[in-house]
Amino acid sequence: MSRRGLLSGAAAVGLGTAAGPFAGFVSRAVAAPRPQPALVPLPDLRDGQVRLWLPEGFSYRSFHDTESPVILDDGAVLPGRHDGMGAFAWRDGDYVLVRNHEIALRGPAFGPAPTVYDPAAAGGTTTVEVTHQGEVLRSRVSLSGTESNCSGGVMPWGSWISCEETVNGPDVGPDYTGASNVGLRERHGFVFEVPADGVSDAQPITAAGRFSHESVAYDPAGGVLYLTEDNFGYASCFYRYLPIRRPDEGRHTRLADGGRLQALAVKGRPNCDLAAEQTPGTVYPVHWVDIDDPAPSFPYTPGQDALTTNDEALCHVSGQGRASGAAWFSRLEGAAFDRGVVYFTSTQGGGPPEESVGPAANGFGNGYGQVWAYHTTEQILRLVYQSPGPDTLDYPDNVTTSPRGTLIVAEDHNNDNYLRGLSRDGALSSIALNRIVGSTGADRSGDEFAGPTFSPDGRTLFVNIQAESGMTFAIWGPWSRIGV
């Protein structure tokens, strides 16, 4: 069981409403929804079984279903828990997908030796060459020996940044599973770069922080990487990483280590509680505070359980931010960059302020989700959507943008899980509904969608099912007709 399976009124400051990319996002969470296409059961082109409901006129194919063993071209066995994913253009009109596997179990590493960071960790990424209709051409391991690879982000120079959603390591006590970390060889809780056309060097970018990473989004104009933190049970911060050099300078096409990590703070409002229920459209001017110790190592005796608890390690980086006035959120997950704006989700944000239990208390977060937008040039933050309840939007998780600017949001809770579309005029619609039934007849409609990503030409939406028996879908159809 993953950790997400175990956990289930601020005023506008200064700027009022924002123009530009924010102008169209007028949340209609409490208004009557506009008419939208109905979802209907459609057969999977892989075998004719119905696994998804989609609008009429759409088609899909699933692949890499680990309910049965899947052997990759390099001989590795494909792990499950398919999670965050990025899509890249490839030869002959095909695509390359780099896909995370959020494995929290201890090793052994599932990939060949050149891809391994820690031989005692079982997570990583796989790279798949596919047609626009989800026909697999080739597949391989591109990073292994990492832990809890949750989401990440596509870099414009042709790489995927994969994020570890953990702080496990030999210097940290057992995590939520209760499993000892003694056997681990390396510290975890970092981000790794994976080139789309090769394999990772399996070296973490430590200056980008050791915390419970979820997603990243890169601003090519500013050369800045924005990072979300999904800190289960505690407050989360929103970060930015300033590399020591731009990845596109000269011949460098890699995110450099050794830069500076900072956390977002609201001007004039130190430790602002942004997890609480508030009015969509609320705008905050922000600034950034430095994190002096972004990649901590904790004292320990090799071969024995460490003295530093996992909870202490989880809060080490965010605690530095809050000590300098950083704002806090409830479980930051998906992130995407589009036209000067970083959109990101707060999965359990929006709870009643009188029930807020503070930044360092177990059970933090009691809402059904928020969508935030950070304008990178003006340095303002805006709440663009807040769910009024689970029947409208239920725990928004991974997010991406369509070529037309619609946000595609994956739900992650215990009810029916949808892919939702949030249009630029603030209208929420349903794009896909999980209706998977396992080979034994088990109802798997509660399995979450993860890693939605459009092909670079906007033709195909790829999305994963994040479960022990994971799988990937390719979905295509008349996107413009449904406003996506």
**Stated pTM of the model:** 0.93
E-assigned strand segments in 231-353: 238-242, 260-266, 283-290, 332-338, 341-346
Query: What gap in Å lies between CA 57 and CA 455, rounded to an integer?
Result: 19
Provide the residue-wise pLDDT of the chain in tens; the chain has 484 residues: 333 332 332 223 333 344 444 445 544 444 444 556 799 999 999 999 999 999 999 999 999 999 999 999 999 999 999 999 999 999 999 999 999 999 998 889 999 999 999 999 999 999 999 999 999 999 999 999 999 999 999 999 999 999 999 999 999 999 988 889 999 999 999 999 999 999 999 999 999 999 999 999 999 999 999 999 999 878 899 999 999 988 876 555 789 999 999 999 999 999 999 998 899 999 999 999 999 999 999 999 998 889 999 999 999 999 999 999 999 999 999 999 999 999 999 999 998 754 544 554 444 567 999 999 999 999 999 999 999 998 899 999 999 999 999 999 999 887 789 999 999 888 899 999 999 999 899 999 999 999 999 999 999 999 999 999 999 999 999 999 998 9
Q: Tell me, rounded to whole angstroms, the distance of Cα 295 from its chain centroid.
A: 21
Could you tell me the residue ranges of all domains in the chain? 17-482
Q: Please give the span between the terminal C-alpha atoms of the chain, in angstroms, as a whole number.
A: 33
Length of the chain: 484
Question: Three-class SS of residue 376?
Answer: coil
CATH number of 17-482: 2.120.10.30
Query: What gap in Å lies between CA 141 and CA 129, rounded to an integer?
Result: 12
Enumerate residues 6+ apart whose C-beta is below 8 A from 301: none
User: β-strand 136-146 against 123-130: which pairing, if any?
Assistant: antiparallel
